[in-house]
Amino acid sequence: MPAYWLARAHIKDPVAYKNYTDKLPKLFEKYNARVLARGGEYKVLEGDKPPFERYIVIEFVTSKAAEDFFNSDDYTNAAAFRRAPGVAKNELVIVEGGDATPT
């Protein structure tokens, strides 16, 4: 079952953050992940304005594949650029696809 990264970011240093994002397309290809949304226009339809201005949705073949990617040396090395002090604030969750609502 597919799984999705749902990420939100507040970018404080766009130049330094780009050192991270420039590495991602090749990593997504290597790990068979598909970008569904990354940095496009958004509109808040309900609730307060969030402290984030960038939203990202990445599809992986399974939840395990999404976690393996996150824990890989490849991703850890790339993420070091965005995790550096003063670069960005991020949130990331993995959600399995499908409807798990009890009937």
Two tokens at 82? 């965005």
Average pLDDT over residues 16-33: 95
pLDDT, tens digit (0-9, with 9 covering 90-100), for 43-72: 889 988 888 999 999 999 999 999 999 999
Domain 3-96, architecture per CATH: 2-Layer Sandwich (3.30)
pLDDT, tens digit (0-9, with 9 covering 90-100), for 62-99: 999 999 999 999 999 999 999 999 999 999 999 999 88
